[in-house]
Structure 1
Amino acid sequence: MKRLAIALAAGAAASLVAAPSAAAEPTVGTAVYVQIRQSFAPVDGDDQCVGTSALGPVRRGSSVVLSEGGIATDSPKVAVGQFYRSRLSDGVCEALYITSAPMRPAFNVQFAGPGGELSPTFGPTPSEPVTYQPGIEQVVKVDIDLPPGP
């Protein structure tokens, strides 16, 4: 079921991402898998959880911004992806974003809420190759353990 969801997400992402120009760097299907261990709230509906406090932008209608992985948080942006779904699993909020990005060993990751609000930048976060999911060639796993803010 999980593979089917990712395959559907890959197809949806392909329709959202504009074709790169001839001079642009080639991109591949990229999943951004987020695990929020704190700073989330359960919700009813299609999604099962949303981020809270500094992670408030992690919700339906939000985007993920991938930039060159490095110490500098102002590194060049290389991709913007769309929120696909969230769910609760073993007390952890899991969110999935889909995009098309150049192959990189690592990315900096930031979330932009529907109203333009931005999360902190996380990274550099390593990417991993994906060989088991058609349409997705790399995954960026972001494990966030920020305590809830006031």
Structure 2
Amino acid sequence: MIEVNTKVLNSLKDNMTIFRSRGFDTLIGKGTSIRGDIAISANSTTVIDGDAALSYITGVVPPEKVATKTTLMVNGTVVRFEKPLEINVHNVIITGQVTCDTITVEGTLAIKTGAVLKAKKILYRELIIETGAVVHGQMFHLDHTSEGEQT
């Protein structure tokens, strides 16, 4: 007979994935359009189901370091507004469409089935691309790239 410590197992399960459903802190709903910038607070999740024309999306805390446990979920459309769009968030899940200049993801970048990501530069630590997702741009792994090296 195999004994399983369910407390340890549940703890591991809880910490293994960014896909665990925890709700959200900010929602830009379907049918809503915004223009401007988004700053995501530490330990929070922002969901974009509508349309966003932005200059930057960041999960930044002083001194300009990405806050851990910030998550951006894009089910709608995100495009640049007036100047280059920089996305710098700890975790990003895309099921919609994102067009930006640079996306930097210190945690996990997940591009789900049917999603489209177009960026000049895509920098990531962990990457998940599901079958049927479309990705355009140069990809750089944050742990393994030096100046000029591509993955």
Does TM-score exceed 0.5, indicating one fold?
no
Larger radius of gyration: 2
Give TM-score scaled by structure 2 length.
0.29
Structure in which a larger fraction of residues adopt strand: 2
Structure in which a larger fraction of residues adopt helix: 1
Give TM-score scaled by structure 1 length.
0.29
Q: Which has the higher contact order (CA 8 A, sep 6+)?
A: 1
